[in-house]
């Protein structure tokens, strides 16, 4: 049988595909998850669509500056009208049975009470506000991904430590069983050891449930296969994430997307308020008209042009527009107060985020000591228990305290990273996490 090049290429392609399907990524870094999550996010796709709408609104406002040009024409069949003229008689006049005309008009805005410029400026400010809101949506998505990523890490670490403790507890039950058979341990102490195993198994069920839920949620947010299981890259939690409290509030104001969005919205409200006041001014346009008309056997008008200036002034708007202008002013004042309120809130958030970070870093130091203390306590209790100087209850309690101390130690390290991320979010710099490897 002949094997041609096509068969060989097909075989190689299938081999490559099978090899790629067999490769499963064992872990995802936080930066990879953030990248995937931003691409997948429906909220950001909606924000992008709104940005395009805002940009098109600006283009609509710009088009108002272009001249207005219209052309119209008609061709008509007429009946046999009776036409008579008073006074001098007209000879050679016959009743027309058709008529046609073409007319074009041109209008160029010159002055309309600053309506066009204020409308354009308001549209531009709303576009900038929309861009900042889109950036804020991006920050919200990143923070949700971080929280879920950390939740998965915490579940993994807790599950790992509990499994280790469960293995030790089962070994203890086996050891106690031999002691009981030899009459060196009471039935009650043996049951306490078995009860300890059951308690740890229940804790493991809870943690396993949290693990599966965090994994499912993270896969969903990142657009991964819902059944995919991967290990969190924990190196990011042990990097030095240092911050200081000397952050310039002026810089924070510039970086906070929500505040910048309100500032641009405030500017837009100001221009919209001015827009409503255009009724106080006359409207001036340059106009031009072209007319060509023909009524067979009657008369014709060819290439009639006229140009001039139109002036309009709606006096009734002085009292009709007062409620509209007052409403626009109140909307401006409302946004102004919202801006001031958010500015004060940011100052409090910034101070609170720094205190939370300090607390988290100190907790790590305390939990590191706690692990050493709990380990030493367990060793002492176990030694005493082996020499019948401590009860089984004391031993089991010391074992649980050591397990809890180890879990707290691992979770505290992740909490430092969360506090660091929250501080970045408060200062408006959470996007920096995209650069973390």
Return the bridge partners of 293, or none. 101, 301
41 part of a folded domain: yes
Is 89 inside a domain boundary? no
Q: Distance between CA 304 and CA 319 in Å, rounded?
A: 41
* CA-based nearest residue to 143, from 257, 254, 259, 34: 34
Pairing of strands 98-111, 68-77: antiparallel
Q: Each residue of 101-126: pLDDT tens digit?
A: 888 888 888 888 788 899 999 999 99
Q: What is the pLDDT of residues 138-168, one digit of tens each?
A: 999 999 999 999 999 999 999 999 999 999 9
Residue for token digits 């988290």? 360
Q: Does some domain include residue 247?
A: yes
What is the pLDDT at residue 278?
85
Range of the domain at 415: 28-77+95-431
Neighbour-count burial of 192, counting CB atoms closer than 10 A to its CB (0-12 exposed, 13-18 middle, 19+ buried): middle
**52 domain residue, yes or no:** yes
Which CA distances in Å does 405 have to 78, 96, 366, 372, 399?
Answer: 102, 107, 10, 9, 10
Q: Using alpha carbons only, what angle is made at residue 149 by residues 157 and 212, rounded to the nearest 5 degrees?
A: 65
- Look at residue 20 in the predicted model and tell me its pLDDT: 36
Q: How far is 242 from 188, CA to CA, in rounded Å?
A: 52
Q: Tens digit of pLDDT for each residue in 236-260?
A: 888 877 776 656 677 888 899 999 9
Dist. CA 171–CA 155, nearest whole Å: 24
Q: How far from the centroid of its chain's Cα atoms is residue 67's Cα?
A: 40
Q: What is the pLDDT of residue 18?
A: 36
d(CA 190, CA 196): 10
CATH code of residue 194: 1.20.1600.10
What pLDDT is attached to residue 393? 93
Q: Is residue 21 part of a domain?
A: no
pLDDT at 86: 58
Positions in the chain whose pLDDT score sits under 50: 1-24
- In-domain check, residue 285: yes
In this prediction the pTM is: 0.80
Write down the pLDDT at residue 414. 93
Q: Give domain status of residue 14, yes or no.
A: no
Output the CA torsion 142→50→250→268 (10° steps).
Answer: -160
Number of domains making up the chain: 1
Does residue 417 lie within any of the structural domains? yes
- What are the pLDDT digits (tens) for 377-394? 999 999 999 898 999 999
Q: Rounded to the nearest 5°, which phi and psi values hold at 28?
A: -130, 130
Containing H/E element for 380?
helix 322-386
- The reported pLDDT for the residue numbered 13 is 38
Q: Which pLDDT score, from 0 to 100, does residue 376 have?
A: 96
């Amino acid at each position: 049988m002949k094997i041609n090049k096509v068969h060989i290429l097909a075989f190689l392609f299938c081999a490559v595909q099978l090899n790629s399907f067999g490769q499963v990524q064992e872990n995802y870094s936080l930066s990879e998850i953030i990248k995937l999550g931003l691409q997948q996010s429906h909220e950001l796709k909606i924000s992008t669509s709104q940005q395009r709408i805002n940009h098109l609104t600006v283009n609509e406002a710009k088009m108002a500056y272009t001249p207005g040009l219209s052309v119209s024409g008609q061709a008509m069949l007429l009946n046999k009208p009776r036409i008579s003229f008073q006074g001098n008689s007209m000879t050679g006049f016959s009743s027309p049975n058709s008529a046609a005309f073409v007319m074009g008009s041109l209008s160029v805005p010159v002055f309309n009470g600053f309506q066009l410029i204020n409308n354009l400026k308001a549209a531009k400010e709303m576009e900038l506000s929309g861009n900042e809101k889109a950036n804020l949506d991006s920050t919200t998505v990143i923070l949700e991904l971080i929280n879920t990523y950390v939740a998965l890490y915490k579940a993994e670490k807790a599950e790992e430590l509990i499994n280790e403790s469960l293995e030790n507890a089962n070994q203890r039950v086996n050891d106690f069983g031999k002691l009981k058979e030899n009459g060196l341990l009471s039935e009650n102490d043996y049951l306490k050891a078995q009860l300890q195993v059951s308690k740890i198994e229940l804790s493991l069920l809870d943690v396993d449930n949290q693990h599966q839920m965090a994994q499912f949620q993270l896969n969903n947010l990142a657009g991964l296969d819902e059944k995919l299981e991967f290990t969190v890259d924990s190196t990011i939690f042990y990097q030095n994430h240092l911050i200081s409290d000397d952050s310039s509030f002026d810089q924070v104001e510039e970086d906070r997307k929500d505040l910048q969005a309100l500032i641009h919205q405030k500017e837009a409200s100001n221009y919209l308020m001015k827009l409503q006041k255009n009724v106080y001014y006359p409207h001036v346009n340059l106009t031009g008209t072209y007319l060509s008309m023909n009524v067979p056997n009657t008369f014709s008008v060819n290439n009639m042009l006229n140009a001039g200036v139109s002036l309009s002034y709606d006096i009734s708007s002085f009292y009709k527009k007062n409620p509209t202008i007052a409403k626009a002013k109140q909307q401006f004042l409302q946004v102004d107060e919202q801006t001031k309120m958010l500015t004060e809130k940011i100052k409090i958030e910034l101070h609170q985020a720094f205190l939370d970070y300090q607390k988290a870093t100190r907790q790590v130091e305390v939990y590191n000591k706690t692990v050493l203390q709990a380990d030493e306590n367990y060793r002492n209790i176990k030694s005493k228990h082996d020499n019948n100087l401590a009860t089984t209850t004391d031993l089991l309690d010391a074992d649980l305290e050591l397990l809890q101390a180890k879990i707290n130690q691992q979770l505290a390290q992740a909490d430092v990273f969360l506090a660091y991320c929250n501080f970045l979010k408060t200062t408006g710099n959470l996007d920096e996490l995209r650069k973390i490897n």
